[in-house]
């Protein structure tokens, strides 16, 4: 006999436990809330490369870069899509084009399990938070050994965009 128990926690969207008397309790699914994904993304990019190419003509973003870095949506993709690197179909296109590229009806089909359960609009907005250079201040410099060092943080404009997204999705989570 299998009993299903749904437990809601603050840090997760839902945790589903299956109690199978022969095998014990197993964690089946943990999906992050939208606000947690937003916070995680900003925290990640304050410590890691923002995965954009800054040129004289502007910024260019890709889901996967040859150096192994990823944009906001790219780092949430299943590993098999990340492993495609710069050769991933639609690598430099809008989030919604990935549905056509991979012939899937939902963005969830290509995301890691913990990131599933959110609308295409959410992923588009998260990507915009990552992409817009006006949202980020990059304090990048060369260290003594010649490697690139520094940090990234949100500008005041970026903080406004971050807070707006948090407030929008906090309301939807209630």
- For residue 53, the model assigns a pLDDT of 67
| pLDDT 10s digits, 44-79 | 988 877 777 665 555 678 899 888 889 999 999 999
Please count the CA atoms within 13 angstroms of the CA of 14 that sit on its side-chain side. 13
**Phi, psi torsion values for 144, nearest 5 degrees:** -60, -30
Three-class SS of 131-165: HCHHHEEEEEEECCCCCEEEEEEECHHHHHHHHHH
Domain ranges, ordered by start, for the chain: 1-31, 33-173
Determine the Cα–Cα distance for residues 69 and 50; give it in Å rounded to an integer.
Answer: 8
- For residue 58, the model assigns a pLDDT of 59
- For residue 142, the model assigns a pLDDT of 62
How many residues make up the chain in this entry? 174
The pTM of the full predicted model, rounded to 2 decimals, is: 0.75
């Amino acid at each position: 006999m299998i009993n299903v128990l749904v437990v809601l926690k603050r840090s997760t969207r839902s945790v589903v436990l299956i109690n199978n008397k022969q095998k014990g309790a197993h964690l089946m699914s943990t999906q992050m809330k939208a606000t947690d994904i937003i916070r995680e993304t900003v925290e990640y990019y304050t410590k890691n490369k923002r995965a954009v190419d800054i040129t004289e003509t502007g910024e260019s973003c890709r889901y996967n870069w040859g150096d192994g870095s990823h944009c906001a949506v790219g780092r949430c993709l299943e590993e098999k899509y990340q492993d495609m690197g710069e050769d991933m179909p639609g690598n430099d296109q809008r989030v919604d084009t990935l549905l056509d590229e991979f012939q899937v009806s939902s963005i969830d089909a290509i995301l890691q399990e913990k990131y599933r359960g959110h609308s295409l609009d959410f992923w588009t907005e998260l990507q915009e938070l990552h992409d817009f250079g006006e949202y980020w201040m990059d304090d990048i410099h060369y260290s003594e050994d010649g490697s690139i060092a520094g940090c990234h943080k949100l500008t005041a404009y970026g903080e406004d965009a971050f807070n707006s997204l948090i407030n929008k999705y906090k309301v939807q989570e209630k």
